Amino acid sequence: MKNSKFMVVCVLSLVMAGAMDSLQAQERRQMRQEMRHKREGRERGDRLSMIPDLTDEQREKIESLRTDMQKEMLPIKNELGEKRARLKTLSTAEKASMNDINRVIDEIGGLQTRMMKIRAAHHQKVRAELNEEQRLFFDTHAGKRRHKAHGRMGMRHG
């Protein structure tokens, strides 16, 4: 009888320990997710607040430029996703055609080039809205954040 009670206590202890570990892991995941959301908020939406002495007029113009760029980028990003899915399908086919694979790779490259050109044009439009001091800050800080994000999370597609 003592052995069976001991076994029940041991099993309950193990179950409780497992539950506690699981709860702690869940809390850590939730905390990391909250930190990531805060960081992304700073890196994306709140990026303008870091530029010194930005006027309300400048802020509105830059937000308008960003909205226009996002509208222009959306169909390209959608097409890029379709091309990547097509490439995966072609690459995993029983008899893969290198001609078809290479064609889709070239198409993906063309879409990525278009997106880079749109981003570069947007960057220059934003710079044009800034005074010399703001431009200096923008030029020295904007790219660093982007590269840090890529280094931390890997290259994003799209």
Q: Please say if the pLDDT value at position 13 is more than 90.
A: no
Asked whether residue 82 is assigned to any structural domain, the reply reads yes
Smallest Cα–Cα separation from 69: which of 125, 128, 114, 122?
A: 122
Give me the residue label for tokens 């010399």: 132
Asked whether residue 50 is assigned to any structural domain, the reply reads no
Alpha-carbon gap, residue 61 to 67, rounded angstroms: 10
Asked whether residue 48 is assigned to any structural domain, the reply reads no
- Residues 32 and 61 occupy one common structural domain: no
Can you tell me the mean pLDDT for 59-86? Answer: 97
Interhelix angle 132-153/98-128, nearest 10 degrees: 150
Instruction: Please count the structural domains in the chain.
Output: 2
- Residues 29 and 86 occupy one common structural domain: no
Interhelix angle 56-91/98-128, nearest 10 degrees: 180
- Residues 34 and 106 occupy one common structural domain: no
Structural domain that includes position 90? 55-153
- Residues 122 and 63 occupy one common structural domain: yes
Band of pLDDT at residue 153, cut at 50, 70 and 90: very low
Weakest-pLDDT range from 36-50, 53-67, 69-83: 36-50
